[in-house]
Amino acid sequence: KYSKFSALILFGIFNIFVTTASAIDLDEATRTVVIDDSGKTTVLSPEQVKRGKRLFNATCGACHVGGVTKTNPNVGLDPEALSLATPRRDNIAGLVDYMKNPVTYDGLDSIAEVHPSIKSAD
């Protein structure tokens, strides 16, 4: 359940940087996302990409405009920035973990009280 949600969010983030192409126009290589730290991948369908973009814009877009974090513009959402976070957030498993337990970019402090998450929804 959360894996599909995270895949959609991850691709929504990716779509910030690929704004000129529609989901139908994206080739398989572009729609391929990493599942976990082992490097295993999955290919999202054009419909999943479309849903992910909508979901990201509706849920995350207010604070993550143009691929940056509104509260800290030094933290980007590009794949490289996500890979440098602690823990890594550049794969589906990392995003699922983040949605369950959001922490600062350095991984030291919980931000569940201020960042929308599964934990803050309780």
77: nearest Cα among 96, 90, 62: 90
3-state SS class at 55: helix
Higher-confidence position of 1 and 10: 10
The model's confidence at residue 11, banded by pLDDT at 50, 70 and 90, is: low
Tell me the C-alpha distance between 71 and 50, whole Å: 27
The model's confidence at residue 115, banded by pLDDT at 50, 70 and 90, is: confident
Q: Is the pLDDT of residue 1 over 60?
A: no
For residue 18, the model assigns a pLDDT of: 55
Q: Is the pLDDT of residue 64 over 60?
A: yes
The model's confidence at residue 65, banded by pLDDT at 50, 70 and 90, is: confident
CA angle 95, 58, 98 (to 5 degrees): 15
Q: DSSP secondary-structure letter at 24?
A: G
Q: DSSP secondary-structure letter at 12?
A: H
